[in-house]
Amino acid sequence: MNRSRPPKIVVIGAASSSFSGLLADLISSDALAGAELALVDIDTEGLEIMAALGKRMAREWKRTTTVTAPANRDEALRGADFIITTISVGGVATWRQDEDIPAKHGYYGHSVDTVGPGGLFRGLRLIPPLLDVCHDIERLCPDAWLINYSNPMPGICRALRKATRVNVVGLCTAGYLPGQVAKFLEIDQSRVEVISAGVNHWVWALKILVDGKDYTCQYKEKMKTLHRKGWYLPAVELMEIFDVWPMPGANHVAEFFPYFYGPDTDGRDSLEKYPMREGHDFDERAKTVVTQRETLRRQGAGLEPLGHKVEESADEAIRMLTSMWNGGRTRHYANVQNDGLVSNLPDHVVVEVPVIADSAGIRGVAVGPLPDSVVGLVQARCAYYELLADAAIQRSKHLALQCLMNDNLTTSIPRAKACLQEMFEVQAKWLPGYK
């Protein structure tokens, strides 16, 4: 990286209305003053809206950041230092299919973008275009770092590492672990450190430190007292069985097990059912997308006040790339190749662990072994992501079936095959080349 100039940051998937917050953060960061933000998306209408919005932010906030929307991806990537990927293939329509079709075949979940048929097909749709991006990075900016926000995080990061030479790191919800602990303990987040390991949306708190002292047992007892009923009940039950606290949130953690979602009462009184929502309101979400886009269009055109204020951001991606560019040193929770960080998982798998960002790049922190009570569960999930990566790289329907059969949410071969067949038929437009 040539640090004698401000960085060039490319955002792929920049047309989404949800990107407006990160756009504001990138522009308002003093540490990134003078940076070039190159926005890329195949949605040309949305891209024009976001570029106009970014230029207005920079102008009104008197920032030296430049915002561009290059005509092609090659132009955007040439000389880039960082690439942030936040793509979605098919939008709300395919997300609805990822939830509704598997439910017909007995698969249920929360975000349906990480595990089960929903996670599988989201990965099958996203990995091929992201591989194309990475091959362009190898050609045009081989030293750049790619920061991925798209799910299913472990499957995507594993595929990109397996099939390309690009520097890849994945960021998601784990960055909020210390804040989550601090909230329940009613203390300042700066006093908390969480040593955790697992895969995205499902990590285990190996140790919780408060002011540098081990507070793990006290925290577990507090959570049992606070959450004997309610939203965190699945996490409490898993902790009592496996003797380690699961994170980041009970809704995500519950997706990795066949016990918590769906219509079955599993022998409980109806008043004791897990308080998980039944599904997304996709009609309302689709309306919100249209409304948000129109609001951002009007803001970009100067017809409405900006919806974001200038402020220094604590966003994980910005803190991370700022440390790499400016020689800082910050701690994060990120998705990286294991390479011994979790000593009883294979080296090649992608794990979510504490990492350090500095001018040398991203280095994972060795956390030791996962407890015997959960390591087998995590190993099995890593096998699912390995097969997902292979299925997407090879565009293989047979490997996709192997992947789904390696998911502990699968309880029937006929239902798994029927779900797979229907998903491939309905999403054929977004799954070219699969055989």
Residue 116 lies in a domain: yes
Residue 196 lies in a domain: no
Average pLDDT over every residue of 392-411: 98
Residue 361 lies in a domain: no
CATH of the domain at 74: 3.40.50.720
Residue 151 lies in a domain: yes
Give the confidence band of 287 by pLDDT, cuts at 50, 70, 90.
very high
Residue 15 lies in a domain: yes
Average pLDDT over every residue of 43-55: 97
| Rounded-to-integer distance, Cα 156 and Cα 159, Å | 5
pTM of structure: 0.95
Q: Identify the domain containing residue 142 by its residue range.
A: 8-91+109-171+307-313
Residue 193 lies in a domain: no
Average pLDDT over every residue of 252-268: 83
| Rounded-to-integer distance, Cα 198 and Cα 370, Å | 8
Residue 212 lies in a domain: no
Give the confidence band of 376 by pLDDT, cuts at 50, 70, 90.
very high
- The model's pLDDT over 164-200, given as tens digits with 9 standing for 90+, comes to 999 999 998 767 899 999 999 999 999 999 999 999 9
What does the CA dihedral 10, 15, 21, 24 come to, rounded to 10 degrees?
A: 50
On the 0-12 / 13-18 / 19+ scale of CB atoms within 10 A, 372 is exposed
| Rounded-to-integer distance, Cα 260 and Cα 128, Å | 32
User: Structural domain tally of the chain?
Assistant: 1
Residue 402 lies in a domain: no
Residue 295 has pLDDT above 60, yes or no: yes
Give the confidence band of 201 by pLDDT, cuts at 50, 70, 90.
very high
Give the confidence band of 269 by pLDDT, cuts at 50, 70, 90.
low
Task: State residue 231's pLDDT score.
Answer: 81
Task: State residue 316's pLDDT score.
Answer: 87
Contacts of 274 (CB under 8 A, 6+ apart): 233, 234, 254, 260, 261
| Rounded-to-integer distance, Cα 54 and Cα 39, Å | 10
